[in-house]
Amino acid sequence: MLEEVLLKQVNLYYPAGICPWNDRVKYMQSIEYKRLTSLIDYFNDETNLDIRVSIKNEFENDQILKDFEDFSRLDSNQDRCYTFYLNVFEDGELYLISLQISILMPYYVIRKSWHPAEPFFTKSRVEELGREKKDTRKIDELIIDVETIVEKKLLYEKFPPSLMNHVIVDSSFGDIYLGNFTMFNAFFNNINI
């Protein structure tokens, strides 16, 4: 049922059966593409910075989460979401919490990933930051706290994990060929997850 509703939304923004690589002119002239790019341009405009600031402000009362950084404009490749990143040190390791909030539907995705601290931080700096850390929450607890804020204050729902990699065979966008476009791509961005 939910899959059908989401597919109807996809059909509003992505022309069916037209590949942006093989038939670029037809793709870009479609009403769906024009509708989508108009919406992306609206939300990506600097005048809509207030929206991203208000999202970030929801985390201001938390000692750790207040450091979420807005990468929405820097990361944009005609993204269909706002993107926020937070670096977290845990057990001498550097992790990244990424929060993506769709502009097409009231859904969000949150992911955690490990990445090497260098070249950003030296090993001694990572250890020092770990000792300075006053908040005892682990990264999974921080993720739960982010989810709570996004769901209770921003009124977004977590995008169903079972649908994230569901391939939408007859739709595409940007640099993704027909047959490789997923629900995640449709509502968030072109990253392969």
The mean of the pLDDT values for the chain is 89
Cα separation, 135 vs 63, in Å, equals 8
**Residue ranges covered by each domain of the chain:** 2-187
Highest mean pLDDT: which range of 19-23, 92-96, 137-141: 137-141
pLDDT for the residue 21? 86
Give the distance from CA 146 to its chain's centroid.
13
H helices of 62-138, where?
Answer: 123-132
pLDDT band at 192 (very low <50, low <70, confident <90, very high): confident
Q: What number is the average pLDDT over the span 132-138?
A: 81
Residue 102, SS3?
strand
Backbone phi and psi for residue 124, each to the nearest 5 degrees, phi listed first: -65, -35
Cα separation, 176 vs 170, in Å, equals 12
Residue 75 in this model has a pLDDT that exceeds 70: no
Give the distance from CA 80 to its chain's centroid.
8
Cβ contacts of residue 173 below 8 Å, gap of 6+? 14, 20, 36, 78, 181, 185, 186, 190
